[in-house]
Amino acid sequence: MSVIEVRGLRKRYGDVEAVRGIELSVEAGEVFALLGPNGAGKTTVVEILEGYRHRTSGETSVLGRDPAAFDRSTRERIGIVLQSTGVDPFLTVRETVELYAGYYPQPREIDEVIEIVGLVEKRDTRVARLSGGQQRRLDVAVALAGDPELLFLDEPTTGFDPGARRNAWQIVRNLVDLGKTVFLTTHYMDEAQALANRVAVISRGEVVAEGPPSTLAGRHLSETTIRFGLPAGAGSLPESLGVIRERDGFVELIAPDPVRTLHELTGWALARGLALEGLEVARPTLEDVYLELTATEEGEP
């Protein structure tokens, strides 16, 4: 049975429909990423699943329960990292984890939790004296304190520097090793790519693509681009190379059959003694796919 099941989920705030019929399913042990730009409806979806907001219509099930009516025993199996939350600034890291661990029947060892999030050296430091990144790691520690099966992480690394993000990713990977199911929201494509088994891209309240990051929206089927610099006076390329475009002073070929196109191109260049500066063959990155999927965002009324 799925850990999370969402069918036809809709949420309306006044005249605005923030979530417009979403379908999702998350399996046990999976890292699922809900990816989308700011304002796409990610937080609304995750907060409905956490029980903070109530849906306008549709079906939602989390750990077999309706999140609109979570009971205490279901809450004991869920850990939540909200987008912005606080803890008491005057308690130390260890005291904070201890306080929250005490709300759960079978908490994880406090020092172990602190170690998982890498705050061992700060364990006796007051929360007020932690950096922003350290406070975010404490958020994760607090969510882990009760040893939940399911973790919600709402934009866990927003505002992190690159090093801190790598550390946070390692923490999420540690959670997977512990057998947790993780439901993650992010607006960073690389984060979804690095962490998730499955990604749903959400745009204006709708899922526009779903799948493993490697094949998202038919990315594996998409055409390959061959890119290179052409020296001045090289003459025109053979027409058989197909669709040609120019970008940033480089020539780009759209190659449905890259082996043949590349062979023809290099043959043509060698015959003329031309160096194709910066030659590269690239499949579209997840970022390209993502930008294309969410491009409708702008220009809409």
Partner 1 sequence: MNDLRLTARQVRFTNTAFWRNPASAFFTFVFPLLFLVVFTALLGSGRLEVAPGLFIEQDRYYVAAMGAFGLVSATYTNLAMSVTFSRDAGVLKRIRGTPIPGWVYLTGRVLHAMGIALLLVAITAAFGAAVYGADLPTGLRLGQFFSTVVVGGAAFSALGLATTSLVPNAHAAPAVVNAIVLPLLFLSGIFIPLEASSPHWIVIVGDLFPVKPFAEAVRASFYGPPFAFVWSDLAVVAGWGVAGLLLAVRFFSWEPRR
Contacting positions for partner 1 (CB under 8 A): 50-52, 72-73, 75-76, 78, 80, 82, 84-91, 95, 99-100, 102-105, 126, 142, 146
Residues in the chain: 301
Question: Nearer Cβ to partner 1, position 84 or 236?
Answer: 84
Question: Nearer Cβ to partner 1, position 98 or 297?
Answer: 98
Taking the complex as a whole, the smallest distance from the CB of residue 284 to partner 1 amounts, in Å, to 38
Question: Nearer Cβ to partner 1, position 98 or 190?
Answer: 98
Taking the complex as a whole, the smallest distance from the CB of residue 152 to partner 1 amounts, in Å, to 9
Question: Nearer Cβ to partner 1, position 8 or 102?
Answer: 102
Question: Nearer Cβ to partner 1, position 32 or 100?
Answer: 100
Which residues does 206 contact at the CB level (< 8 Å), separation at least 6? 20, 21, 22
Question: Nearer Cβ to partner 1, position 53 or 219?
Answer: 53
Question: Nearer Cβ to partner 1, position 95 or 115?
Answer: 95
Taking the complex as a whole, the smallest distance from the CB of residue 84 to partner 1 amounts, in Å, to 6
12 burial (CB, 10 Å; 0-12 / 13-18 / 19+) is: middle
